[in-house]
Amino acid sequence: MTDITKRFGDVYANRNVCLNIYKGEILSLLGENGSGKTTLMNMLSGIYFPDSGSIEVNGVPVVIKSPKDAFALHIGMIHQHFKLIDVFTAAENVLLGINGKLKDAKDGIKQICDKYGFAVESDKKVYEMSVSEKQTLEIVKVLYRGADILILDEPTAVLTPQETEKLFSVMRAMKADGKSVVIITHKLHEVLDISDRVAVLRKGEYIGDVNTGDTDAQSLSNMMVGRSVSLNIERPIVEKTTTRLKVEHLSVRDNLGVLRLDDVSFDAFGGEILGIAGITGSGQKELLEAIAGLQAAEKRSSIIYMDPKTGMEEQLCGKNPQQIYSMGVGFAFVPEDRLGMGLVGSMDIPDNMLLRSYLDGKSGFVNMKKPKELASQVVDELGVVTPNLKTQVSKLSGGNVQKVLVGREIAGDPALLMTAYAVRGLDINTSMAIYQLLNEQKKKGTAVIYVGEDLDVLLELCDRIMVLCSGRVSGIVDGRAATKEQIGLMMTSIGGTDKND
């Protein structure tokens, strides 16, 4: 790829990028969120068309106008958000867009599976599949089309460490088969683990490439961010204070009657960060929402909030958010869905600040003075990059949206702070800033609950880690002593033993 430029409106997603991909190598494409990695690869796979620049495959100049052209050139991409039809079977998905017989597809799937050691059931519907099964199917689909260049966009984001290891061995097998594999990621340890060569993008521009053997995490992250960054997450030692939250026998069913949380019990203390690990959908969301009063809990469930000032104990089960709020329970909630549950995207920053406090007013009119003050305070203290306070929140970048939300939630000096995937989609700098904020809360004596997906971060940041496995507590481990493998095992089977197999 030579001099590739792609613009969206006034924003350059890629600017004069030159990239070579060699046969039989695993290339990592590294960069922060929004650095243009996916855009660049989407131009190879025919989803986007470059504004300028040229592409050569095997030395021949080509024009890739559509995904069909890309297949013809043996380029296949596995997108971050799977491109599968839920109501179709595996075989039907493989056949999609290519005319062929279902029987041939099934035979082909079997051949590919035998070759690389996959397990795909041809007749299984996609909506019945687990995330890693779906990913395997995506890979089979691309291989079935005869891809020689495979592009994987953030493939490990949804996998457990064990599944990731399996994926990596598949990638190595494909490399041994003479295929070129490109992996898009922002996780440094994966880059070092799997790839032969690393190409770094920053703000849409190509920074350079290095052989993986000649580099380390620190220099890669410096290339990625453009200046020296500290990769160490602090874990200040703070004296644990009193219990803030006592959860006992908490069970939650979803509206289909499926048990999402099963007899969960734990305590959260002031002055500590309690991490919650688990495969996506293991009950993390339900847990936080049950505590916040957004989900009804089953009988026998008990959520006791202990007020640090008065020592009063309040039962939160069976109360709705408004009742909890009016009881004066001092907790803050940074939900997973920032612009869906946390903030209103089409409103400006002061209006969003107001959302948390509009019940306080006595008159029927809105007093905008305090929200405005709070908004400018948050913008100043957390360094939110925004043209002005009146900007719609949805127009801000992901990191700045999160800063506005976290800023609002910690402004009331909560006794309990719950965060769900607080750094999802944020770049290293912003993530570090968020960790810093959480640590400050911890030092103030707040009980922090941190639901996370990156095990490395959980292990560095949290004092204790509770691991959930299909709605049950698989165990609570010490963040300083636990290992990634241990937690990974606990994520897939209760207590980390293989008794389910």
- Residue 429: CB minimum distance to another protein, A: 22
Of the two residues 87 and 237, which places its CB atom closer to another protein in the complex?
87
Pinpoint the alpha helices (H) of 199-320. Answer: 217-225, 284-291
Q: Which is nearer to another protein, 19 or 105 (CB)?
A: 105
- Minimum Å gap between C-beta 474 and another protein is 28
* Residue type for position 449: I
> Per CB under 8 A, does 127 bind another protein?
yes
Q: Is the dihedral of CA 95, 100, 101, 103 positive or negative?
A: negative
User: Which H helix or E strand runs over 408?
Assistant: helix 398-411
Contact 409, 333 (CB under 8 A): yes
Distance CA 336, CA 423 (A): 10
Which stretch, 15-23, 60-68, 194-202, 309-317, contacts another protein (CB under 8 A)?
Answer: 60-68
Q: Does 74 bind another protein (CB under 8 A)?
A: no
CB-nearer residue toward another protein: 47 or 304: 47
Name the minimum Å distance from CB 98 to another protein.
7
| 29, 77, 279, 426: residue in contact with another protein (rule CB under 8 A) | 77
Q: Does 257 participate in binding another protein (rule CB under 8 A)?
A: no
Interaction of residue 95 with another protein, rule CB under 8 A: yes
Q: Of the candidates 21, 84, 384, 477, which one interacts with another protein according to CB under 8 A?
A: 84
The nearer residue to another protein, 100 or 383, going by C-beta atoms, is 100
Q: How far is the CB of 175 from another protein (least distance, A)?
A: 24
358 is an interface residue for another protein by CB under 8 A: no
Query: In terms of residues, how long is the chain?
Result: 501
Q: Which of residues 188-217 bind another protein (CB under 8 A)?
A: none
> Which stretch of DSSP H or E encloses residue 372?
helix 369-382
Q: Which is nearer to another protein, 182 or 422 (CB)?
A: 182
Separation CA 246–CA 305 (nearest Å):
6
Task: Give min distance, CB of 470 to another protein, in A.
Answer: 20
Long-range CB pairs of 252-257, under 8 A, 24+ apart, other chains included: 252/283, 252/286, 252/287, 252/290, 252/295, 252/296, 252/297, 252/298, 252/301, 252/471, 253/298, 254/286
> Which of 2, 56, 86, 265 contacts another protein by CB under 8 A?
86
Segment interacting with another protein (CB under 8 A) among 93-101, 116-124, 295-303, 462-470: 93-101
The token duo for 56 is: 């050569």
Q: Whole-number minimum distance, CB 91 to another protein, in Å?
A: 11
Q: End-to-end alpha-carbon separation of the chain, Å? A: 47
> Minimal distance in Å, beta carbon 93 to another protein?
8
Looking at the Cβ atoms of 308 and 425, the one nearer to another protein is 425
* Residue whose CB is less far from another protein, 60 or 87: 87
In this chain, which of 98, 173, 312, 368 binds another protein, going by CB under 8 A?
98
**CB 102, min distance to another protein, A:** 10
Q: Identify each DSSP E strand in 301-383 by its residue range.
A: 302-306, 313-315, 331-334
Helix/strand/coil for 422? coil
**Applying CB under 8 A, does 63 fall inside the site for another protein?**
no
Closer residue to another protein in complex, CB, 102/296: 102
Contact status, residue 445 vs residue 241, Cβ threshold 8 Å:
yes
Span interacting with another protein, options 90-98, 184-192, 277-285, 374-382, rule CB under 8 A: 90-98
Angle between helices 102-116 and 131-144 (to 10 degrees): 110
Between 83 and 444, name the residue whose CB sits nearer to another protein: 83
**DSSP line for 30-66:** E--TTSSHHHHHHHHTTSS--SEEEEEETTEEE---S
Count CB neighbours of 425 within 10 A. Answer: 17
Listed in sequence order, the residues at least 6 apart from 448 whose beta carbon sits closer than 8 Å to its beta carbon are: 272, 273, 274, 416, 417, 418, 419, 438, 441, 442
99 binds another protein (CB under 8 A): yes
Q: Smallest distance from the beta carbon of 149 to another protein, in angstroms?
A: 15
Strands (E), 91-196: 149-153, 180-185
Q: Which of 10, 58, 60, 87 binds another protein (CB under 8 A)?
A: 87
- Our finding on whether 359 is near another protein (CB under 8 A) is no
d(CA 276, CA 253): 19
CB of 345 to another protein, least distance (A): 16
How far apart CA 239 and CA 270 sit, in angstroms, is: 9
424 vs 436: CA distance, rounded Å: 16
Pairwise CA distance, residues 181 & 27, whole Å: 6
Residue 49 C-beta: closest distance to another protein, Å? 8
Question: Does residue 313 sit in helix, strand or coil?
Answer: strand
In what order do the strands lie in the sheet containing 313-315?
Answer: 259-269, 243-253, 302-306, 313-315
Number of residues that bind another protein (CB under 8 A): 27
Taking the CA atoms of the chain, what radius of gyration do you get in angstroms?
Answer: 24
Judged by CB under 8 A, does residue 235 bind another protein?
no
Residue closer to another protein, measured from CB, 95 or 316? 95
Which of 18, 85, 217, 385 is in the footprint of another protein by CB under 8 A?
85
**Interface ranges with another protein (CB under 8 A):** 8, 45, 47-49, 66-68, 71, 77, 79, 83-88, 92, 95-100, 125, 127, 256
